[in-house]
Amino acid sequence: MVKTGKTAVISIYPGIGDIVWHLPFFRALASRSLEKKIHLFTRKTTLAKEILKYDKTISKVYYLNETRQFFNTIISFPKIIKKLKKEKFETIWIFHRSPRYAVISRIAGIKNIYGFGLGAQKIWLSSKKGIGDNSKKKDNIFKAKKLLSIHGIKCKNNFKLELPDFVINKKLKKFKMFPKPWIAIGFSCNKTAFMKNNKPYSFYRTWRPEFFSDLINLIHSKNKKIFFFLIGAKNELNLANKIKNKCLLKSKVIVSCNPIITNLSILLKSKVFIGNDSGPLNLSGAMGIKSFGLFGASPPIKNVNNIYPIVPPEGAVNPHKYGFNPISLEEGMDLIKPQNVFKKIKKFI
């Protein structure tokens, strides 16, 4: 495939992990662009503007007001079309099966429009190559690989996230009084989708606060020099304090419900990460930190060398056991006990 002109990418998956694990594809497309960069359109819940702020292959990030509501589509799509026209993109890649973004790309006059080519989307693409109906039920990473492959684009497994030293030093200045080693705890509960009881789907992928406290106490019983950083968002401060309050060495437990760049800086300087299957685990893995993920109600992340999945004693659970209904804490995350986690990580700390 020849070099392309100004290139846009649309990725409407909602999670931080979705952005992290699609980075190899974004970078492969950037290498094909004359600018050596792409313009990324994605959802605000990915925090892509902050996470990718210093990535040299990302020219700019635009947030989409993405919902499936009809009236939202009527309001937001003209704005996107206007933006696409203004930026004068020559090429656009759509990492989704919906025809909507292919249609607006046509309306915006974009010359090269590539996508999965499933269903009605295929009509609106400039290339009739599709990933095939047998890919419909495959995961998003498989689909992305297939999309680039059918267009002759080789993709390196490069999802490494980095921050400039001056940024790290600035963000960590207020933590200088805490000597290393540091261990980052990812207690966060990713809230991108909610159920009828107003609980996020990912609630059931979250370890109980007292389990994190018990694990910290177990580690401190062997090594009192370790400082723990509880990594979370601003609205998770109460949950972080609940964990800290049950820790025996509270002075060694630091609550870090800070902006994402601060938490990324902490992760980069941590010896180990331990946490739920959520954004911080994906970020830690992408930065090369030895990361232990708690997978009690979701499929373990595979093929990432520095992510070590911890599953219930009898093995990974089937996350689709009840269809779209999540597995309860009692049948999933509660089966992973602090003592078992400690046994698996103690030689690394």
Q: Is 50 exceeded by the pLDDT of residue 198? A: no
Q: What is the pLDDT at residue 190?
A: 59
| Mean pLDDT confidence for 164-187 | 97
| Mean pLDDT confidence for 10-21 | 93
The mean pLDDT value of the chain amounts to 91
Helices 279-286 and 16-32: crossing angle in degrees, nearest 10, is 40
Q: What is the pLDDT at residue 218?
A: 98
Q: What is the pLDDT at residue 74?
A: 61
Q: Give the strand pairing for 112-115 and 91-94.
A: parallel
- The CATH number fitting domain 165-348, selected from 3.20.20.70, 3.40.50.11390, 3.40.50.2000, 3.40.50.300: 3.40.50.2000
Q: What is the pLDDT at residue 196?
A: 43
Q: Is 80 exceeded by the pLDDT of residue 319? A: no
Six-digit token string for 59: 């020219």
Candidates 236, 249, 303, 314; CA nearest to 275 is 236
Q: Give the strand pairing for 38-43 and 272-276.
A: unpaired
Q: Is 80 exceeded by the pLDDT of residue 234? A: yes
Six-digit token string for 284: 């830690």
Q: Which band of pLDDT confidence, cut at 50, 70 and 90, is reported for residue 65?
A: confident
Q: Which band of pLDDT confidence, cut at 50, 70 and 90, is reported for residue 323?
A: low
Longest distance between any two alpha carbons in the chain, whole Å = 64
Hey, do 7-150 and 165-348 end up sharing a CATH topology, with the first three levels equal? yes
On whether the CB atoms of residues 40 and 52 are closer than 8 A, the answer is yes
Q: Is 80 exceeded by the pLDDT of residue 282? A: yes
Q: What is the pLDDT at residue 133?
A: 94
Token pair 């990713």: residue: 190
Neighbours of 248 (CB within 10 A): 12
66-70, 282-286, 291-295, 324-328: least confident range: 66-70
| Mean pLDDT confidence for 67-93 | 82
Which residues does 166 contact at the CB level (< 8 Å), separation at least 6?
none
Return the sign of the alpha-carbon dihedral for residues 46, 52, 53, 59.
Answer: negative
First to last CA, the chain: 47
Q: What is the pLDDT at residue 197?
A: 45
Q: What is the pLDDT at residue 107?
A: 96
The torsion angles phi and psi of 46, rounded to 5 degrees, stand at: -80, -15
Whether pTM > 0.85 for this model: the answer is yes
| Mean pLDDT confidence for 329-342 | 95
The CATH class, in words, for 7-150 is alpha beta
On whether the CB atoms of residues 120 and 106 are closer than 8 A, the answer is no
- Alpha-carbon distance of 3 to 33, in angstroms, equals 6
| Mean pLDDT confidence for 253-281 | 96
Neighbours of 104 (CB within 10 A): 22
Mark out the alpha helices in the chain (DSSP H runs): 16-32, 48-51, 70-87, 100-107, 121-124, 140-150, 165-171, 209-222, 237-245, 260-268, 279-286, 338-345
| Mean pLDDT confidence for 115-143 | 94
Q: What is the pLDDT at residue 50?
A: 96
37-46, 67-76, 124-133, 181-190: least confident range: 67-76
Q: Is 90 exceeded by the pLDDT of residue 188? A: no
Q: Is 50 exceeded by the pLDDT of residue 173? A: yes
| Mean pLDDT confidence for 312-328 | 80
pLDDT tens for 253-266 read 999 999 999 999 99
Q: What is the pLDDT at residue 77?
A: 86
Q: What is the pLDDT at residue 194?
A: 35
| Domain range list for the chain | 7-150, 165-348
